[in-house]
């Protein structure tokens, strides 16, 4: 079995295909739903699909516009598909490279120049975001939460701003591990409330399933069910070819087959009196900007360590993950 996957040069999400001729949806060992030829999650990096290790390469084309000569999918060794391109998110293979202090300082200064370029580019993007116009939300979206049925404006909780994370939900009756880690990472809501902002989670999942997950992990923050509404469809958090719902990141997302699945999306809104205005939505790798664990791990020696496939629900790490040492 061979695999190819890549990030395009525009920073799009990881997309890939498993070349076994099987269009069934499959589940990787990380617990996430991975249909053939569909995005492998909001987290770029290696993934495991039916025992095949999928390695993300920076310069490969995504599968929706495949270029096998650039994807560099290599032969499988022991059930692992490998490439010759090093992920920017993991430490390079081999022993640590140790240099003199002067040589290290020179290398750090070169990196600093790149970091400043990235900072200035991000500043320009944020300025454009500030100037992005609003669109009026005219649909009366309804949600089911712990307090019963509510509308979109109720999710503001009386505040001016609303941030919504569209939580990916698995058919195994639980949230995806990556979305769950983001939920856990947010901490106390009082800090956001001080900025007149409510942070909410929604999921296209049965409310009973959501509540079982919250009880299992002791989650206090509510998660609102969007089942029965078009909210997930309208904000590109669902791909469902059978119903013609195939747009993602403001482009057609051709995946083949009729399997429906969730996608990573985050959306922001402003309350203007009784009106709700949609300001911004981010898809694919655009959602990384709010994920503090990525930013923290990116500056550590080992990086995100995606090749380890370590992301789990927090009640499934076990003592061996908490105290493991690598030599």
Question: Taking Cα atoms as reference points, which of 287, 270, 274 lies closest to residue 236?
Answer: 287
pLDDT of residue 110: 97
pLDDT of residue 178: 92
Please state the pTM of the whole predicted model: 0.73
pLDDT of residue 256: 62
Distances, alpha carbon 146 to alpha carbons 56, 152, 257, in Å:
39, 15, 36
Q: What is the pLDDT of residues 106-121, one digit of tens each?
A: 999 999 999 999 999 9
pLDDT of residue 75: 30
DSSP state of 254: -
Pair 169, 176: CB distance under 8 Å: yes
Question: Taking Cα atoms as reference points, which of 287, 283, 282, 157 lies closest to residue 224?
Answer: 157
Please state the domain extents for the chain: 1-93, 104-132, 135-290
Distances, alpha carbon 257 to alpha carbons 152, 208, 253, in Å:
32, 29, 12
pLDDT of residue 260: 84
Query: Homologous superfamily of 135-290 in CATH?
Result: Glutaredoxin (3.40.30.10)
Q: What is the pLDDT of residues 113-145, one digit of tens each?
A: 999 999 999 999 999 999 999 999 999 999 999
pLDDT of residue 319: 55
The torsion region of residue 21 among left (phi > 0), alpha (psi -120 to 50) and beta comes to left
Question: Taking Cα atoms as reference points, which of 49, 56, 11, 35 lies closest to residue 255?
Answer: 35
| pLDDT < 70 regions, the chain | 1-86, 254-257, 319-327
Strand duo 161-167 + 197-203: pairing: parallel
Q: Which long-range contacts (CB under 8 A, 24 or more apart) does 33-36 make?
A: 33/170, 33/171, 33/176, 33/261, 33/262, 35/255, 35/257, 35/259, 35/261, 36/256, 36/257
Which run of H or E residues covers position 53? strand 52-54
Taking the CA atoms of 129, 252, 32 and 199 in sequence, report the sign of the dihedral they define.
Answer: positive
Q: What is the pLDDT of residues 28-60, one digit of tens each?
A: 323 333 333 333 333 333 333 333 333 333 333
Token pair belonging to 82: 């490998």
Taking the CA atoms of 250, 178, 198 and 205 in sequence, report the sign of the dihedral they define.
Answer: positive
Which run of H or E residues covers position 110? helix 101-131
pLDDT of residue 115: 96
Mean per-residue pLDDT of the chain: 76
Pair 165, 277: CB distance under 8 Å: no
Pair 1, 19: CB distance under 8 Å: yes
- Please name the residue that has the structure tokens 């309804």: 142
Strand duo 275-283 + 135-136: pairing: antiparallel
pLDDT of residue 104: 97
């Amino acid at each position: 079995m061979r695999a190819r996957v890549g990030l395009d040069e525009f920073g799009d999400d990881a997309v890939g295909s498993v070349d076994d001729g099987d269009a069934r949806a499959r589940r990787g060992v990380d617990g996430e739903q991975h249909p053939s030829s569909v995005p492998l999650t909001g987290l770029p990096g290696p993934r495991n699909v039916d025992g095949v290790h999928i390695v993300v390469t920076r310069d490969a084309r995504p599968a929706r516009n495949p270029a096998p000569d650039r994807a560099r999918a290599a032969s499988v060794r022991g059930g692992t598909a490998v490439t010759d391109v090093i992920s920017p998110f993991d430490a390079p293979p081999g022993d640590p490279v140790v240099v003199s202090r002067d040589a290290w300082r020179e290398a750090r200064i070169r990196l600093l120049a790149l970091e400043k370029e990235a900072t200035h580019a991000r500043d320009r993007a944020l300025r454009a975001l500030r100037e992005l116009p609003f669109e009026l939300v005219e649909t009366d979206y309804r949600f089911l939460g712990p307090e019963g049925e509510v509308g979109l404006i109720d999710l503001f909780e009386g505040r001016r701003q609303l941030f919504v994370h569209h939580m990916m939900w698995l058919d195994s009756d639980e949230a995806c591990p990556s979305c769950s880690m983001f939920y856990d990472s947010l901490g106390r809501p009082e800090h956001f409330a001080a900025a007149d902002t409510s942070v909410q989670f929604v999921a296209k999942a049965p409310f009973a399933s959501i509540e079982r997950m919250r009880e299992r992990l002791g989650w206090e923050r509510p998660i609102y069910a969007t089942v029965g509404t078009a909210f997930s469809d309208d904000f590109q958090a669902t791909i469902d070819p059978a119903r013609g719902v195939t747009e993602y990141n403001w482009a057609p997302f051709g995946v083949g087959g009729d399997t429906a699945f969730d996608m990573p999306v985050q959306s922001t809104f402003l309350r203007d009196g009784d009106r709700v205005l949609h300001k911004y939505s981010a898809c694919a790798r655009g959602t990384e900007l709010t994920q503090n664990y990525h930013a923290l791990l990116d500056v550590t020696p080992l990086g995100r360590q995606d090749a380890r496939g370590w992301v789990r629900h927090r009640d499934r790490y076990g003592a061996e993950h908490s105290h493991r040492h690598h030599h």
